Chains A and B, each alone.
Chain A
């Protein structure tokens, strides 16, 4: 039996869900997708806060099996849940908020253990404060301490960084990244922020309209989306219609915009098939005037700079081919300045063959 958390959920109402989720002990899985995609509904189903059709197992225990009529109530599931607004008990002090979740032991033992958890969350000295007397970041840490207090079999975090300011968020990222090294249970983090997901998770599952559509590392999702829909969801915008020309010389060749491009071998798409290709910006190389760089021989394309927008250290460039296709990428601002990359300037770029990713049309 699978040791971690596994959920296979299928339901029509009230929210349509068709989801598959797997998370190993010690792993952080980010559940991501646009707002309204069902992330929170899925998380609540795992916790048992809503009753869904399907199967949920955790640590070898069946929490939900709609076919067998099994539904383990929330309080018997041993979940640690960090709510979006933390949902601390407003009438209890920080330490009481944590102690209430600890079971077993004497009152003194529970309080001692709660104190240890608060200390671990860097909240020593704030034990007697009520939630209203804590800052957003402090509240979040109390909520995490409370979630860990039950020795949960799974830790569920619902947009835990959305209610704090940016500076606090950066600090909390570091804390969570540190904390997760000590955690031995599966951790599911719901977030709509892809960068956050990429930074904090081992793998992420992308959810769209209630359906889980791709699971993988952040890198995989960003460079190898299985469909153009996923490409759109992860913000990959260099997606074009193309046709598979041939598979030869250890590569796949595609025809695009009047040129033939060499791509990473992807034999699943037969020659002649219409496909979409995605070219992540990281695989677009701009040819420099001062010195030639690696990969210039790969898929060179001439055109003009449509516009260049300096965004601090990097400059976002939109490059237009003679056929009118727009390619987006970014280069260091100092490079852009030195090479006089500006709207209307003639330039040439290369698509690195490794980065050209084929998707069904």
Chain B
């Protein structure tokens, strides 16, 4: 009993005295939309390898980041999945400039192995499965604040499936949670970013089809340096626009602006 308490106390003290790194010496934080999960980590690794500097990446929904940045979150780069958020922050003086378009996103229809849904581009199988009541749950990101959720909603509306599906949606807090819901088999289908479907962790768990970009407004992904960005952040921002980084985005299923 006493030794247990002593051990707890020792752990406490160790944690307590663990050095707090000096502010500013820490690598800058990049707030990136969730669809970039695998792509941006690869770019950051390349950046560290080539330039010897590190950035910290935090992933989430673009809408949430937009509000956190407005509330003063100490991010230095914002990589949004929707250019509107960057525009809004620019208007509020939170960004250094209007930013640049770095990628155009696409969405897929994904069905895990064993699902009643067979992914096809016009979503006929999904429509049939819905009609026959073989689909309980379909995962998308929350359209309220996640751009990929909005694109998914538009696609379902275009195909006339939105009303029928509305009661069966599971909403991910961001697009990567939507992908996780669908690929884990918790939902029979999901609409989410192509970039996530391409990752082995998702791809091996089901089948997917890339949906035509005519089904939704283009997901114009814009990034910007935020007020107070330091030299490393500026360097990374430039690196993101270099051919090496662009190649990574392309490999992860993004269309690139100007191509």
Answer whether A and B touch in the complex at a CB cut-off of 8 Å: no
Residues of A within 8 A of B (CB): none
Instruction: Give chain B's interface residues, CB within 8 Å of chain A.
Output: none
